[in-house]
């Protein structure tokens, strides 16, 4: 049905364009000029009678207007078009208009989506009313018992779904306050803040994601938003690296892969490089990761003043279950960062977290 | 476009509107090419394709706009744009104004107005040479194609959501206001109106034919665009005045400057086109101004729509839309200026004229207007450029503009009545000055009297005196023509016999005078910040303001705290106002609603700045004498523009009638 009306519209447009073709059109371009000249003479007469012009000036103005008319006399006549040009234009219109519109619309349109006015959604609205009253009850309950962490945790995702992102963030923050930090809660709070800020990763949200990563190494959602934060701050290379790592390091059928790949493409990265890694057999993948870790270790050997780098290296060794190497790296890091109190603290906290001794 | 609603349960109006927009783009491409080729080859058939195409293009875009409006009115939250900017409980008028209260919808409105102008040219231009019309419509169609592409690829208002949310996120409360419902359409009609003069300029450059007749063809369009832009700027300034709660009406904010720039260029264009029409001079300059006015309109659109103003950095991190508009900007401004540089020398130069004459005065006006335009341009763009290059954020505020724009504008104001008194070709400066003696004397007396009465700073009194001179001086020329008539009916007959454009100029100039008076009078205002409880009274200028009650009230999609207030003069109640503070539930935003009452030409303005725990409220209270004149002046300016537009020689079909007249004359 929808395509029929599209066809009808397209036909109407093509007809409107073709309509003037084939109707003989020979007219003088000059008629309007002559008419203008006469109206100008009238006007000069009027200005003269109003005293805006002296009689001599009016005479001069008339001569001038006449001279202008003659000057433009090279305007010439239009002719009825050559048959080839007209035929070409007709074919052009006949082909370009339907081909262009249908191909563009099929790329960006949603022909299968009917109108969905609110009136036609009575059942949903009723469900919504029930949901709203349920939310109201939970809200009342939470107002009276603000320390019910489970309650906050239940209502947070509901707010998220309704698009009430600020309230969702507040609910998750309350849940964390009562139940203590968990990677899931921190990520959920951070994500609400990102949505509330029109999908910008605010510093506040970034801090939550970092905290979540400290609690649980490699939380993909937190990792994704931190990469997005880099992109939004203009660090394209850093963002591309991070997105690529995420795409490589997680299963190819993970739900976030599509979003991650979209970012990689948007940043000008190549998907094939990632796919070659993902298709590789696990041991090969391990080897590739190993090679990357070794590269990082080499870098740190040359320049050890990089607490962040050391932390990453130690983590990577832990993930690869190379406890000995992790411990050795920890020792090296402590030696290299001896003068960097902050860095040392960071490394020691990490060591505690990962349960490394030595 | 019919047969859309055949299945009631499967109506597809939204998608049909989407397709109509795509089709409009395809049509615009054809309309941009065929008539152009036709005009160059002098092929009547190809040229004739332009008219039906332009009308059809308008119908398509109008249908598309209607479909989007329909989805807003029916709260169809399967449309992303509706979900993001509407709410089922929003009052109907804001459901409709919500269509253009957001980026995507406002760009669709832009394109709609563009198409409407194109269709108007196609339908009402019988007296115009065929090749000129074909070229104008072709150029107009390039602009339409660029913006349609922009809308469809980066800002599509027809993007859909599946599953559809059950309710929307509501419109920004600041925009839920009658002023903002009409401000963008007015402003856009102004902006986009200059696209027609731009198209005329490019058509002249392409065909190499430009003459006094050309200047007459563009005159109604320039005037129309100017009238709407004037109204749009005034509306925007009044909106800022009563919404932002600071009692200010012009902040030299980049968004405001973006609308002032095309206004200044357009005003210059209006005057230089008058010289061209009467004297066949200033041709190349007029073409340049026509290009400039629309370029500045495009720049305004770019500044407001790309997000570059909020932060250069946010622009840089999400540049898709911004880059696209920038590309449009570069293509049209760069392209037209290149064409101008390449072809301007081929145009036949116009006549020369004496410096002391009407046309000489208009050249002075042009120089001063374009210089002040350049000043605003620099003040607006310099901070952006600096931030982009060095990352340093500076703000160029009112002091810069007052110091640069002010001194440039005062000579314009002084010279305005004198220019009106000069005759074409050869003017008598001394005579003109003599006839202005009365206006000058009244201005000086006004200054002295106001200074004596009001005291304080001398600047407001001097500016008010200048405003009096300007307002009265605007009508001296007309008064001179009417004086000496033997009876009242003769005066009336003479008044009606005067060209409407003379009346138009007088009113437009007087409007500037009235606005200036309103601006000058801000120096005599009273401003107070007080904390009050119900039952308490405060004074504001000559009036006493009594808070009767402070109570909550419920609106359709907000709750508000209302301070019911009486304004008394000498113990007598002369007005009541209800300033309030509204909390919008969905957006969790607060907006204050100023209480304003106009007394004479002045206003008492009251805004709730804060609510205290003990039930008291902090009030921002102003008495602003003559402030209404600022906007009344703008209305009078617009009235002048409309009068000028209705001038006999501009009425549609004039050329045709004149031709018929000549034929009958020849027959006799």
Q: CB of B186 within 8 A of CB of B228?
A: yes
pLDDT average, residue stretch B139-166: 92
Q: Which residue's entry shows tokens 């490699």?
A: A218
Looking at the complex, report in whole angstroms how far the Cα of residue A130 sits from the nearest Cα belonging to chain B. Answer: 12
Looking at residue B303, its pLDDT comes to: 81
SS3 B551: strand
Looking at residue A81, its pLDDT comes to: 53
Q: Give Cβ neighbours of residue B195 (< 8 Å, ≥ 6 apart).
A: B114, B117, B140, B143, B294, B297
- The chain-wide mean pLDDT, for chain A, equals 81
Nearest chain B residue (CA) to A26: B44
Distance in angstroms (rounded) separating the CA atoms of residues B250 and B233: 10
Q: Is the CB of B212 less than 8 angstroms away from the CB of A13?
A: no
Choose, out of A6, A11, A13, A263, the residue to mutate when testing the contact with B (most B CBs < 10 Å): A13
Residues in chain A closer than 8 A to B13 (CB atoms): 115
Which of the pair, A355 or B325, is modelled with greater confidence? Answer: B325
Q: Is the CB of B18 less than 8 angstroms away from the CB of A105?
A: yes
For helices A31-50 and A55-71, the axis angle rounded to 10 degrees is 170
Whether B314 shows a pLDDT value over 90: the answer reads no
Q: Which residue's entry shows tokens 């050309």?
A: B214
Q: Is the CB of B662 less than 8 angstroms away from the CB of A34?
A: yes
pLDDT average, residue stretch B312-339: 80
Looking at the complex, report in whole angstroms how far the Cα of residue B24 sits from the nearest Cα belonging to chain A. Answer: 9
Residues in chain B closer than 8 A to A89 (CB atoms): 34, 37, 46, 49
Partner residue facing A38 (CB), from B37, B74, B658: B658
Looking at the complex, report in whole angstroms how far the Cα of residue B290 sits from the nearest Cα belonging to chain A. Answer: 22
Q: Give Cβ neighbours of residue B2 (< 8 Å, ≥ 6 apart).
A: A5, A8
Whether A32 shows a pLDDT value over 90: the answer reads no
Partner residue facing A128 (CB), from B46, B51, B166: B166
CA angle B435, B440, B443 (to 5 degrees): 150
pLDDT in tens, B443-467: 999 999 999 988 788 899 999 999 9
Distance in angstroms (rounded) separating the CA atoms of residues B420 and B435: 11
Residues in chain B closer than 8 A to A42 (CB atoms): 658
H/E segment holding residue A311? helix A307-319
Q: What HEC string does B321-357 produce? A: HHHHHHHHHHHHHHHHHHHHHHHHHHCCCCCCCCCCC
pLDDT average, residue stretch B302-329: 72
Tokens of B296: 């500045």
Q: Number of A to B CB contacts under 8 A, please give it.
A: 266
Task: Report chain B's terminal Cα–Cα distance, integer Å.
Answer: 52
Partner residue facing A93 (CB), from B22, B30, B216: B30
Distance in angstroms (rounded) separating the CA atoms of residues A248 and A256: 12
Residues in chain A closer than 8 A to B51 (CB atoms): 20
Partner residue facing A21 (CB), from B11, B49, B649: B49
Residues in chain B closer than 8 A to A26 (CB atoms): 44
CA angle A107, B23, A94 (to 5 degrees): 105
Looking at the complex, report in whole angstroms how far the Cα of residue A302 sits from the nearest Cα belonging to chain B. Answer: 34
Partner residue facing B655 (CB), from A32, A117, A124: A32
Whether A127 shows a pLDDT value over 70: the answer reads yes
Q: Where in chain A is the domain with CATH 1.25.40?
A: 286-358
pLDDT in tens, B489-526: 888 888 888 888 889 999 999 999 999 999 999 889 88
Q: Is the CB of A81 less than 8 angstroms away from the CB of B46?
A: yes
Taking the alpha carbons of B179, B180, B185, B188 in that order, is the dihedral positive or negative? positive
The percent of residues in chain B predicted with pLDDT above 70, rounded, is: 93
Q: Is the CB of B11 less than 8 angstroms away from the CB of A115?
A: yes
Residue A225 is classified by DSSP as H
Residues in chain A closer than 8 A to B49 (CB atoms): 17, 20-21, 89, 93
Nearest chain A residue (CA) to B15: A111
pLDDT average, residue stretch B553-562: 85
Q: Is the CB of A89 less than 8 angstroms away from the CB of B37?
A: yes
Nearest chain B residue (CA) to A161: B165
Residues in chain A closer than 8 A to B480 (CB atoms): none
Q: CB of A50 within 8 A of CB of B481?
A: yes
Partner residue facing B23 (CB), from A32, A101, A110: A101
Compute the radius of gyration of chain A from its Cα atoms.
37
Whether A255 shows a pLDDT value over 60: the answer reads yes
Nearest chain A residue (CA) to B6: A1
Q: Give Cβ neighbours of residue A88 (< 8 Å, ≥ 6 apart).
A: none
Looking at the complex, report in whole angstroms how far the Cα of residue B655 sits from the nearest Cα belonging to chain A. Answer: 5
Query: What CATH topology corresponds to A286-358?
Result: 1.25.40
Looking at residue A22, its pLDDT comes to: 67
Model confidence band, residue A72 (pLDDT cutoffs 50, 70, 90): low
Looking at the complex, report in whole angstroms how far the Cα of residue B484 sits from the nearest Cα belonging to chain A. Answer: 13
Q: Is the CB of A34 less than 8 angstroms away from the CB of B588?
A: no
Partner residue facing B48 (CB), from A25, A40, A92: A25
Residues in chain B closer than 8 A to A20 (CB atoms): 45, 48-49, 51-52
Residues in chain B closer than 8 A to A39 (CB atoms): 649, 654-655, 658
Choose, out of B10, B13, B19, B149, the residue to mutate when testing the contact with A (most A CBs < 10 Å): B19
Q: Is the CB of A53 less than 8 angstroms away from the CB of B12?
A: no
Nearest chain A residue (CA) to B152: A108
Residue B225 is classified by DSSP as H
pLDDT average, residue stretch A204-208: 91
Whether B313 shows a pLDDT value over 70: the answer reads no
Choose, out of A7, A10, A36, the residue to mutate when testing the contact with B (most B CBs < 10 Å): A36
Partner residue facing B127 (CB), from A5, A35, A111: A35
Task: Report chain A's terminal Cα–Cα distance, integer Å.
Answer: 74
Distance in angstroms (rounded) separating the CA atoms of residues B405 and B386: 21
Residues in chain B closer than 8 A to A121 (CB atoms): 164, 166
Nearest chain A residue (CA) to B589: A166
Nearest chain A residue (CA) to B586: A164
Q: Give Cβ neighbours of residue A199 (< 8 Å, ≥ 6 apart).
A: none
Q: CB of B166 within 8 A of CB of A125?
A: yes
pLDDT in tens, A278-335: 555 455 566 777 777 888 888 888 888 888 888 888 888 877 767 778 888 888 888 8
The percent of residues in chain A predicted with pLDDT above 90, rounded, is: 14
Q: Is the CB of B15 less than 8 angstroms away from the CB of A23?
A: no
Q: CB of B198 within 8 A of CB of B290?
A: yes
pLDDT in tens, B617-628: 888 999 999 999
pLDDT in tens, B12-44: 999 999 999 999 999 999 999 999 998 888 888
Residues in chain B closer than 8 A to A100 (CB atoms): 25-26, 29
pLDDT in tens, A178-201: 988 888 899 999 999 998 887 888
Q: Is the CB of A80 less than 8 angstroms away from the CB of B44?
A: yes
Q: Is the CB of B3 less than 8 angstroms away from the CB of A47?
A: no
Q: Is the CB of A101 less than 8 angstroms away from the CB of B75?
A: no
Which of the pair, B657 or B439, is modelled with greater confidence? Answer: B439
pLDDT in tens, B344-389: 877 766 667 778 888 888 889 999 999 999 999 998 888 888 877 8
pLDDT in tens, B49-101: 999 999 999 999 999 999 999 999 999 999 999 998 898 888 899 999 999 98
Residue A118 is classified by DSSP as G
Which of the pair, A24 or B567, is modelled with greater confidence? Answer: B567
Residues in chain A closer than 8 A to B216 (CB atoms): 36
| Ranges of H-type helices in B356-436 | 358-390, 398-421, 429-435
Nearest chain A residue (CA) to B209: A72
Q: CB of B645 within 8 A of CB of B225?
A: no
Span of A36-45, B11-20, B188-197, B408-417 with lowest mean pLDDT = A36-45
Looking at the complex, report in whole angstroms how far the Cα of residue B258 sits from the nearest Cα belonging to chain A. Answer: 26
Say if residue B310 is exposed, middle or buried (CB neighbours under 10 Å; 0-12, 13-18, 19+). exposed
Looking at residue B7, its pLDDT comes to: 41
SS3 B595: strand
Residues in chain B closer than 8 A to A165 (CB atoms): none
């Amino acid at each position: 049905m929808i395509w029929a009306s599209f066809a009808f519209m397209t036909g109407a447009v093509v007809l409107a364009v073709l309509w003037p073709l084939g109707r003989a059109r020979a007219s003088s371009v000059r008629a309007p000029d002559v008419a203008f000249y006469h109206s100008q003479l009238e006007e000069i007469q009027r200005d003269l009678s109003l005293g805006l012009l002296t009689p001599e000036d009016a005479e001069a103005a008339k001569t001038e207007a006449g001279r202008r008319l003659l000057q433009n006399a090279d305007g010439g006549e239009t002719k009825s078009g050559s048959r080839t040009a007209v035929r070409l234009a007709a074919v052009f219109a006949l082909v370009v208009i339907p081909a262009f519109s249908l191909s563009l619309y099929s790329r960006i349109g949603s022909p299968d989506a009917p109108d969905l006015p609110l009136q036609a959604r009575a059942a949903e609205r009723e469900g919504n009313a029930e949901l709203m009253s349920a939310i109201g009850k939970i809200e009342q309950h939470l107002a009276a018992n603000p320390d019910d962490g489970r309650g906050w945790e239940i209502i947070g995702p509901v707010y998220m779904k309704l698009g009430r992102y600020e309230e969702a963030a507040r609910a998750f923050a309350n849940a964390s306050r009562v139940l203590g930090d968990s990677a899931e809660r921190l990520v959920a709070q951070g994500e609400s803040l990102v949505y509330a800020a029109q999908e910008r990763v605010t510093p506040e949200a970034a801090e939550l994601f970092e905290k979540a990563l400290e609690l649980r190494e490699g939380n993909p959602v937190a990792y994704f938003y931190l990469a997005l934060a880099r992109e939004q701050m203009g660090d394209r290379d850093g963002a591309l690296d991070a997105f690529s790592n995420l795409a490589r390091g997680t299963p190819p059928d993970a739900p976030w892969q599509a979003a991650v790949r979209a970012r990689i493409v948007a940043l000008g990265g190549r998907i094939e490089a990632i796919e070659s890694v993902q298709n590789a057999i696990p041991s090969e993948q391990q080897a590739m990761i190993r090679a990357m870790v070794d590269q990082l270790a080499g870098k740190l050997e040359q320049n050890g003043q990089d607490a962040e780098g050391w932390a990453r290296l130690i983590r990577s060794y832990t993930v690869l279950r190379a406890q000995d190497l992790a411990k050795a790296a920890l020792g090296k890091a402590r030696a290299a960062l001896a003068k960097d109190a902050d860095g040392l603290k960071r490394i020691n906290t990490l060591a505690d977290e990962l349960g490394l001794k030595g | 476009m019919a047969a859309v609603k055949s299945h009631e349960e499967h109506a597809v109006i939204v998608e049909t509107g989407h397709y109509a927009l795509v089709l409009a783009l395809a049509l615009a491409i054809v309309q941009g090419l065929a008539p152009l080729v036709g005009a160059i080859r002098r092929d009547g058939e190809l040229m004739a394709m332009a008219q039906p195409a332009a009308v059809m293009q308008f119908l398509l875009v109008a249908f598309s706009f209607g479909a989007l409006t329909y989805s807003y009115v029916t709260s169809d939250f399967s449309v992303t744009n509706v979900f993001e900017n509407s709410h089922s409980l929003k009052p109907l008028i804001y459901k409709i104004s919500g269509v253009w209260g957001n980026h995507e919808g406002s760009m669709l409105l832009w394109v709609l107005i563009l198409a409407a102008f194109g269709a108007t040219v196609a339908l009402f231009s019988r007296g115009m040479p065929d090749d000129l019309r074909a070229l104008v419509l072709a150029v107009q169609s390039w602009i339409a194609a660029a913006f349609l592409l922009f809308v469809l690829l980066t800002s599509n208002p027809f993007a859909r959501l599946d599953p559809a949310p059950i309710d929307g996120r509501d419109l920004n409360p600041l925009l839920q206001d009658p002023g903002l419902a009409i401000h963008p359409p007015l402003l856009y009609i102004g902006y986009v109106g200059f696209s027609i003069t731009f198209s005329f300029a490019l058509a002249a450059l392409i065909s190499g034919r430009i003459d006094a007749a050309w200047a007459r063809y563009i005159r109604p369009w320039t005037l129309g665009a100017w009238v709407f832009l004037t109204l749009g700027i005034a509306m925007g300034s009044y909106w800022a005045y009563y919404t932002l709660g600071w009692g200010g009406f012009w902040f030299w904010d980049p968004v405001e400057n973006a609308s002032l720039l095309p206004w200044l260029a357009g005003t210059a264009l209006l005057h230089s086109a008058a010289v061209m029409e009467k004297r066949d001079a200033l041709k190349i300059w007029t073409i340049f101004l026509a290009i400039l006015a629309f370029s500045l309109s495009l720049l305004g659109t770019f500044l407001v729509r790309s997000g570059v103003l909020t932060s250069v950095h946010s622009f840089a991190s999400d540049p898709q839309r911004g880059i696209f508009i920038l590309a449009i900007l570069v293509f049209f401004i760069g392209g037209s200026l290149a064409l101008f540089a390449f072809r301007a020398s081929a145009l036949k130069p116009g006549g020369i004229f004496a410096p002391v004459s009407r046309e000489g005065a208009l050249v002075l006006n042009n120089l001063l207007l374009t210089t002040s335009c350049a000043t605003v341009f620099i003040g607006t763009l310099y901070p952006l450029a600096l931030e982009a290059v060095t990352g340093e954020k500076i703000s160029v505020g009112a002091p810069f503009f007052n110091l640069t724009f002010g001194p440039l504008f005062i000579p314009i104001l002084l010279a305005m009545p004198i220019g009106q008194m000069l005759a074409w070709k050869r003017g008598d400066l001394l005579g003109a000055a003599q006839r202005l003696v009365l206006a000058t004397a009244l201005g000086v007396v006004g200054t002295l009297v106001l200074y004596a009465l009001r005291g304080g700073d001398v600047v407001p009194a001097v500016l008010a005196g200048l405003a009096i001179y300007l307002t009265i001086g605007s009508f001296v020329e007309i008064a001179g023509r009417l004086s000496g008539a033997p009876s009242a009916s003769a005066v009336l007959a003479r008044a009606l016999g005067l060209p409407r454009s003379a009346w138009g100029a007088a009113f437009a100039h007087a409007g500037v005078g009235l606005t200036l008076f309103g601006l000058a009078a801000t120096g005599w205002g009273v401003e107070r910040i007080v904390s009050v409880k119900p039952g308490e009274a405060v004074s504001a200028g000559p009036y006493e303001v009594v808070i009767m009650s402070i109570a909550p009230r419920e609106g359709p999609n907000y709750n508000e705290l209302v301070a019911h207030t009486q304004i008394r003069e000498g113990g007598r109640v002369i007005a009541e106002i209800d300033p309030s503070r509204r909390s919008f539930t969905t957006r969790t935003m607060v907006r204050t609603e100023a209480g304003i009452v106009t007394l004479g030409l002045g206003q008492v303005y009251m805004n709730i700045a804060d609510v205290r725990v003990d039930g008291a409220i902090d009030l921002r209270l102003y008495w602003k004498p003559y402030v209404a004149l600022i906007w009344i002046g703008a209305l009078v300016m617009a009235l002048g523009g409309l009068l000028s537009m209705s001038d006999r020689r501009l009425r549609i079909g004039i050329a045709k009638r004149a031709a018929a007249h000549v034929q009958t004359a020849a027959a006799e």
